[in-house]
Structure 1
Amino acid sequence: MSSSAPVRTGYHHGDLRNALIRAAADLAQSGGPASVTIRAAARAVGVTPTAAYRHFAGHEELLHAAKEEAMERLSAAMSEVLTRVPETEDRVRRAVCAVAAIGRGYLNFAQAEPGLFRTAFAAAADVPAFATTRPFLRLVEALDELAAAGYLPAERRPMAEIAAWSSVHGLAMLCLDGPLRSVGSDQRRQAMGRVVEVVMEGLGGRALSPGLRADILEFAR
């Protein structure tokens, strides 16, 4: 679908703002952040640009809304994989698997929804810092639990979320727009497993046990 194609979101009276946000997200899904414009969203919903401008002052406000929607969908992708974390009384195992699941969900979303993924991280001056978004807060909570469980030493906790996020985001971008975009799914899974393994060993300051390594590799499948 091209960025100029109708999206046909439809809306109920009084719900035009939300309809425009859904249209903007659909446009981003098919064409990335560059496709999100007031005119295109208005056309998709079936109203005039003038009507859309009553809800959004301009392109940047609409893009901001599309970014927030993309972040919510990224968070949902993480939640889906987090359901696979084993129910166990082993707190360290649960915490390690949760971090691996968050990384898997992040990469799943990047691969399945490249337009929305790019939109989530599109530059815009009025967009809140990524640190305030649900996906990042999920990572922070998981790392806090990793520390509380005794796996992540207190001296290694500061900025751990930046190290983990940078590693997984870097892999996502290599697979989307870099030299890994042409590799097969098996190689991508191997790369995912290795990245999370290296991150977890760096966080803990020690080699993973065979059991924890096997758990992490389960989330790379």
Structure 2
Amino acid sequence: MSSSRARKTYHHGDLRQALVQAGLELARAGGPEAVVLREATRRAGVAPNAAYRHFANREALFGAVRAAALGALARAIEQEMDAARGIEDAAQRSRALLAAVGRGYLGFAQAETGWFRSAFAWGAYDVEVAPDAAHTASMGLNPFELLGYALDAMRDAGVLAAERRPGAEFLAWSAVHGMALLMIDGPLRHAPPPMRQVLALRLLDMVEKGL
């Protein structure tokens, strides 16, 4: 893309979104370390200096990419939750919602590993993601809040004792996140899909019963 065409294309502020999209493509293929400002500008078809009107540095771009990855995870979870919300019985619905959050989380980790790693990157890539609609879906909740929503439904339905609700999201999250890491980076990364599916269902059942 020529510089004149780039100026015309991005003249109304589309460049920021084009850079985020380029960053998402990089993250999808290579995880957080692949998100490099210069490469994002190259893919967007503009000179490197043009990016600084929107992102002061690589960390700023990565923050936007991370927020978008969290948004994609929220959408994946909501898709799993859609069927559960139609269940009439409150107790069954709440259990189905919790299982849906776990399925969406584990499915996303395996299907979009680069985005998953970017969403939960730490160390040199641990940038703050301020509250922003970019990392939520239609319900306006981020992935962690969607888990809280399911747990609140269990409490309200009498499935989860009120005194056991505080902090329950951290217990459930740690179990499912640990399984996700085993599946993408650990000994389960070479396991056949049917085995992973069975283990995921057993884990989600264990989490519910443990709560």
Fold agreement, TM-score > 0.5:
yes
Letter in 2 for 1:128: V
Match of 1:176 in 2: 184
Cα separation, 2, equivalents of 1:88 and 1:29: 34
Match of 2:204 in 1: 196
Letter in 2 for 1:87: G
**Superposed structure 1 runs of 4+ greater than 4 Å apart:** none
Contact map agreement 2:66 2:129 (CA 8 A) in 1: no
Query: Could you say what secondary structure the match of 1:127 adopts?
Result: coil
Cα separation, 2, equivalents of 1:147 and 1:12: 49
Letter in 2 for 1:30: A
Match of 2:5 in 1: none
**TM-score of the superposition, structure 1-length normalised?**
0.83
C-alpha RMSD of matched pairs (Å) = 1.9
Contact map agreement 1:96 1:146 (CA 8 A) in 2: yes
Match of 1:96 in 2: 95
Label 1:68 to 1:141 Cα distance change in 2 as closer, same or farther (>3 A).
same
Match of 2:3 in 1: none
Match of 1:155 in 2: 163
Contact map agreement 2:182 2:189 (CA 8 A) in 1: yes
Contact map agreement 1:38 1:53 (CA 8 A) in 2: no
Instruction: Trace 1:116-131 onto structure 2 (pairs within 5 A).
Output: 116-123=115-122, 124-128=125-129
Cα displacement (A) at 1:126: 3.7
Is 1:33 matched up with 2:6? no
Match of 2:139 in 1: none
**TM-score of the superposition, structure 2-length normalised?**
0.87
Label 1:87 to 1:126 Cα distance change in 2 as closer, same or farther (>3 A).
closer
After the TM superposition, which of the residue ranges 27-36 and 80-89 deviates more from structure 2? 80-89
Cα displacement (A) at 1:200: 0.4
Cα displacement (A) at 1:125: 4.7
The partner residue of 1:167 within 162, 170, 175 is 175
The partner residue of 1:146 within 137, 154, 164 is 154
Label 1:175 to 1:126 Cα distance change in 2 as closer, same or farther (>3 A).
closer
Is 1:74 matched up with 2:73? yes
Letter in 1 for 2:186: G
Query: Could you say what secondary structure the match of 2:83 adopts?
Result: coil
Cα displacement (A) at 1:40: 0.7
| Alignment size in residue pairs | 193
Cα separation, 1, equivalents of 2:46 and 2:10: 12
Cα separation, 2, equivalents of 1:85 and 1:79: 10
Letter in 1 for 2:50: A
Contact map agreement 2:108 2:116 (CA 8 A) in 1: yes
Question: What is the percentage of aligned positions where both structures have the same residue?
Answer: 46
Contact map agreement 1:109 1:117 (CA 8 A) in 2: yes
Cα displacement (A) at 1:128: 3.5
After the TM superposition, which of the residue ranges 83-92 and 35-44 deviates more from structure 2? 83-92
Letter in 2 for 1:13: H
Cα displacement (A) at 1:170: 0.5
Cα displacement (A) at 1:53: 1.3
The structure with higher relative contact order (CA 8 Å, sep 6+) is 2
Cα displacement (A) at 1:89: 2.4
After the TM superposition, which of the residue ranges 133-142 and 113-122 deviates more from structure 2? 133-142
